[in-house]
Amino acid sequence: MNEKNTENIDQVILHFIQGNADQEEKATLMNWLNENPENRKKLFKEKDIWNAAEIDSDRLKALENNEWLELEKRINISKVKQGYFKELIKIAAIIVVALGVGWMSHYIYSESASARKVEMRTVEAIKGQIKEVFLADGTHVWLNAGSQLSFPSDFTEKNREICLRGEAYFEVTSSEKNPFLVKTGNHTVKVTGTKFNICEYPEDKMIETTLVEGKVKIISGNFFKDLYPGEQATFYTETAEVVIGEKDFDIYTAWREGRYEFRNESVDKVFKIMERWWDVEIDYPKDEFKYEYISGVLRKHKPIEQHFEVINELVPINYQVDKDNITVKLK
């Protein structure tokens, strides 16, 4: 794209995030987004900077101002040096970093080398949280809200084996001799060193494994299949069917940064994600929303009311918030 076109697209983006883009500009923007995955990241960054949710409520605008303070805190927190974590790994069996809205806390489980015993431990990211876990072998795990990870305090066996319920992103320390196994029910992902995401919420009735780097092997009963970067394996738990296809892994890993991107996704699934991220219960008539699909982005640092206002622009709804309970109906 030449310099003139770059200036034009910047103007189009500005109009779009301010809510002033006409149909021609929207078409130009869509074409530009399809040219390169990096363009989508640029748009999201600009939207975050301008905080461009099209909301007229004075109450929600006040909430938006507070969000900048929360976001600033999160940016400052993220500047913690990696070397700090490396030093902690030397003295701790596991380090857990819990990420909430505007706060972070550290949990360190340490034992002296002479007295260390291998025990199974469990870390849970409750609803409303995202946690980072550093395992004893140096493997780095991000645990999404409503998820649970069980693992040994030290990897002394031939295989490194852990159990997952929910969703997690892994950066596994490479070891050809000691493969890393992630078990989810009767489904196993075998790893020698790679980056990948597994989503296994029981209510979804499927297990999605998305590979970013390296290679993993999907194992389920008599089924064995190697997965390569950019591929996703979907295992349907009710039928044991496995479907493999190419996917944009950025979409399936962005939740680590507090952002969910979804394209033509069912409103039902979007509501489930919102329940986990904001620790709320959403009551809605599932039959009425059965055929409603939307595209958009959820951002954890924004109040949930803001997202319902955006959903209302896509699917006309009425909603009522009563503390942690939200009632939603189609208009």
**Whole-number average pLDDT of the chain:** 76
Domain-embedded: residue 59: no
- 219 and 175 within one domain: yes
pLDDT-derived band at 183, boundaries 50, 70, 90: very high
41 pLDDT higher than 70 = no
Q: Tell me the per-residue pLDDT of 257-267, one tens digit each, with 9 for 90 and over.
A: 889 988 889 99
- 320 and 278 within one domain: yes
Q: What is the CATH number of the domain that holds 269?
A: 3.55.50.30
- 99 and 22 within one domain: no
> What's the rounded Cα separation, in Å, for the pair 50 and 308?
19
Average pLDDT over residues 241-253: 89
Domain count, the chain: 3
Of 65 and 199, which is predicted with more confidence?
199
Buried b (16+ CB within 10 A) or exposed e, 193-222: bbbbbbbbbeeeebbbbbbbebbbbbbbee
- 163 and 119 within one domain: yes
What pLDDT is attached to residue 82? Answer: 43
Domain span at residue 195 reads 92-252
Phi and psi at residue 95, to the nearest 5°:
-120, 130
What pLDDT is attached to residue 54? Answer: 36
pLDDT-derived band at 49, boundaries 50, 70, 90: very low
Of 273 and 12, which is predicted with more confidence?
273
Domain-embedded: residue 78: no
- 263 and 247 within one domain: no
Residue 69 · residue 63 · CB < 8 Å: no
- 219 and 152 within one domain: yes
Closest residue by Cα to residue 128 from 309, 303, 320, 311? 303
Q: Tell me the per-residue pLDDT of 99-138, one tens digit each, with 9 for 90 and over.
A: 443 333 333 344 444 445 667 889 999 998 898 888 877 7
- 43 and 18 within one domain: yes
- 179 and 320 within one domain: no
What pLDDT is attached to residue 96? Answer: 55
pLDDT-derived band at 6, boundaries 50, 70, 90: low
Of 158 and 308, which is predicted with more confidence?
308
- 160 and 301 within one domain: no
Q: What is the CATH number of the domain that holds 241?
A: 2.60.120.1440
Q: Tell me the per-residue pLDDT of 201-228, one tens digit each, with 9 for 90 and over.
A: 988 889 999 999 998 999 887 788 899 9
Domain-embedded: residue 183: yes
What pLDDT is attached to residue 90? Answer: 36
Q: Tell me the per-residue pLDDT of 286-306, one tens digit each, with 9 for 90 and over.
A: 898 988 999 989 998 889 999
pTM here is 0.67
Percent with pLDDT over 70 in the chain: 71
Scanning the chain, the segments in alpha helix (DSSP H) are 3-17, 23-35, 37-50, 58-77, 82-91, 249-253, 267-278, 304-314
pLDDT-derived band at 182, boundaries 50, 70, 90: very high
74: which 2 tokens? 């999160």
- 42 and 23 within one domain: yes
CA 76 to chain centre: 21
pLDDT-derived band at 37, boundaries 50, 70, 90: low
